[in-house]
Amino acid sequence: MGVRTFATWVGHSVATAGIVVAFAGEGLGADLGVGAAHPAFAQQARSDAPAPVGKSTKPSSDKPASAGTMSATPAPAASAAALSALTSEEGLSAVELLGKRLFEDTNLSEPRGQACASCHEAGKAFTGNAGSKIDAVAAGAPPGVVGNRNVPTAMYARFAPPFSFVEKKDEESGKVEMVPNGGLFLDGRADTLAKQAEGPFLNTREMNNPSKQAVVDKVRAGGYADLMRKVFGEKAFDDVEAAYGNIAVAIAAFESTPRFQPFSSKFDAFLRGEAKLTAVEARGFELFKDPKKGNCLACHVGKEDSKKSEDWLFTDYSYDAFGVPRNRAIPDNAKADFFDKGICDREGLAALAPRGVEIESFCGAFKVPTLRNVAVTAPYMHNGVFKTLREAVDFYATRDTDPKRWYARDAKGRVRKFDDLPKQLHGNINVKEVPYDRKPGERPRLSDREIDAVVKFLETLTDAPYRATAATPERAAR
């Protein structure tokens, strides 16, 4: 059972959070959580250093918030020049190149046709939905199959600490509680990039392979089998378990290259003193940090006394329940009794929890995502219910002051607030922290103009390859 203090992850250095690609006998395998590094790694050493901003359209009072249905408005893509750089193989080590081949291989699904890159496209900040007709969820390899959660970006994922329970002090009561933190996936079920990479190959809603053996056999029959042997030895395919683990190790090595964490946004340049925020962006940043206004920094953290990009990952890897509207475009949600309860649905969570911790208290909570590149990774929330960034920020500000904007009504015309969780779990939803500490009819913590300013600031978190696609008019400046 892993138990850490809340401060532990804050001091989690880049060297331990990511993959330290300095192969001297232990580096890669140890950091990826797949055992000792292969001797082939000893030769390599590396240091890895859009949304409209106008007022969002209000849903009619008898309908839920817009729910990201058809793919009529695909996510913005990087320019051709930027895409060329993102897909370049120049400078990749052997294991990173192998990882790229695996990441992009559409033969590694059943039926063939889907790759890791199908849902994590380089030109879309490593998000996507594999051509699904439903924006919010990705299509699986089997015809007609889709997922039930929004695809998170693979960018900056290498910095996530392993899953554990950490101490958190309640600001009001002073009580110290043990809460979940870290891990990969929206429910933290993988501790490392390599363990995360193992999952989709066998998931029936994703790449749908029947077994590890099937995946290994496909790689052995592929055009880069010799590269696999070069990296992991002539007997690379002899042991299925080891081969499958090493396939994931290689993918994780590729996902740890700078293209996945370039720290090339305007905000990074601002930290280095190489750029200035506009008046609107600066105002948005202040609102973002202000504990009485946006209070975004409470979960999307950064070290205010640091100018290092690595100290501004814009997530604390915690879990929170926000009670977002139900997305009726997701097929699973057609069943009235189906609810995605987030982390408490995670298999084996009870065995990891400290004694006395009630797993049910986390139902409805999902991992807090990074906000880096958030302006180009629509749709938003775990169920993709919001199509634009402006709409997502607006929801945070007005969920409690004007719930009829966001939630459907029942047969008697009553607003069904928090309609994507069973009523008995509504007590888990965050209603205490700013900006959720409001009641219907009260003034929101953020005005329309302030929401616009926050959005403008969030656009400064877009990395260079995608920056042009994130630009929106500065409505708040008027």
Is residue 292 predicted with pLDDT exceeding 60? yes
Summarised one tens digit per residue, pLDDT across range 149-183 is 999 999 999 999 999 999 998 877 788 999 999 99
Instruction: Report the pLDDT value the prediction gives residue 17, as an integer from 0 to 100.
Output: 35
Residue 137 φ/ψ region, left for φ over 0, alpha for ψ in the -120 to 50 degree band, beta for the rest: beta
Minimum mean pLDDT among 48-52, 58-62, 395-399: which range?
48-52
- Calculate the average pLDDT of the chain: 86
Topology of the domain covering 3-477: Cytochrome Bc1 Complex; Chain D, domain 2 (1.10.760)
Reply yes or no on whether the pLDDT at 437 is more than 70: yes
pLDDT at 298: 96
pLDDT confidence of residue 82: 82
pLDDT of residue 22: 29
Relative to beta strand 164-169, strand 176-181 is antiparallel
The whole-number average pLDDT for the span 85-110 is: 96
Q: Which of 30-39, 168-177, 307-316, 452-461 comes out lowest in average pLDDT? A: 30-39
Range list of β-strands (E), 292-418:
319-320, 366-367
Burial of 478 (0-12, 13-18, 19+ CB in 10 A): exposed
User: What is the per-residue pLDDT for 429?
Assistant: 98
Instruction: Look at the block and give the residue holding tokens 């300095």.
Output: 22
3-class DSSP string for 78-130: CCHHHHHHHCCCCCCCHHHHHHHHHHHCCCCCCCCCCCHHHHCEHHHCCECCC
Residue 388 confidence (pLDDT) above 80: yes
Taking alpha carbons only, the member of 35, 4, 312 closest to residue 156 is 312
**pLDDT band, very low/low/confident/very high, at 33 (cuts 50, 70, 90):** very low
Q: What are the angstrom distances between the C-alpha of 374 and each of 210, 422, 466?
A: 34, 29, 11
Judge if pTM exceeds 0.75. yes
Task: Among 77-91, 133-147, 224-238, 393-407, name the one with the lowest average pLDDT.
Answer: 77-91
Q: Find the range with the poorest average confidence among 31-45, 334-348, 376-390.
A: 31-45
For residue 77, the model assigns a pLDDT of 66
Read off the pLDDT of each residue in 415-442 and give the average, rounded to a whole number. 97
pLDDT at 81: 82
Q: Residue 332, Cβ neighbours under 10 Å: how many? A: 15
Helix, strand, coil content of the chain in percent (nearest 5):
35, 5, 55
In the DSSP assignment, the letter for residue 466 is G
Give the pLDDT of residue 348. Answer: 95
Over residues 197-213, the mean pLDDT reads: 98
State the CB neighbour count (10 A cutoff) for residue 273: 8
* pLDDT at 136 > cutoff 80: yes
In the predicted structure, residue 27 carries a pLDDT above the cut 90: no
Mean pLDDT lowest for which of 43-47, 282-286, 288-292? 43-47
Average pLDDT over residues 25-30: 33
Find the mean pLDDT for residues 131-147: 97
**DSSP codes joined into one string, 55-77:** PPPPPPTTSPSP---STTSPPP-
Which of 76-90, 360-374, 411-425, 464-478 has the least mean pLDDT? Answer: 464-478
With a cut of 60, say whether residue 94 has pLDDT above it: yes
Secondary structure of 149-168 in the HEC alphabet? CCCCCCCCHHHCCCCEEEEE
Is pLDDT above 70 for 194?
yes
Among 44, 245, 267, 264, smallest CA distance to 155 is for 264
Q: What percent of the chain has pLDDT over 90?
A: 78
- Residue 466 pLDDT > 70: yes
Domain-wise residue ranges, the chain: 3-477
